[in-house]
Amino acid sequence: MWVHFFSDGAIERVTGNASTGGVICDQASNWILGYNRYLGSCTPFEAELWGILDGILILLIKGYKWATIQTDNLGVAKALPDKGLEDSELYIGKQT
């Protein structure tokens, strides 16, 4: 079953503290689960990557094999692999 994975990171301007989170939905856009994590000090790019990594780990733990990832950071989207993660049996669909 394909799932859709939406991820985002945020930085607090004054302190520079970051957090990340995401939501995983089924093909009918029904909510499956959500997550978040406090990261401390990091760049927006790093916060976005941590959010995607956390989501991928959750997908693997939950046994999902097919996922599309949506992020609002073009640099992060371009940094993602164009093919499956060979060691994990997880395929990520990507559009930029």
CATH number at residue 8: 3.30.420.10
pLDDT < 50 positions in the chain: none
Q: Which residues lie closer than 8 Å to 14 by C-beta, 6 or more apart?
A: none
Segments forming the whole domain that contains residue 61? 2-93
**Which tokens in the block code for residue 87?**
């060691």
Per-residue model confidence (pLDDT) at position 88: 58
- Name the pTM for this structure: 0.80
- How many domains is the chain built from? 1
One-letter amino acid identity for 57? L
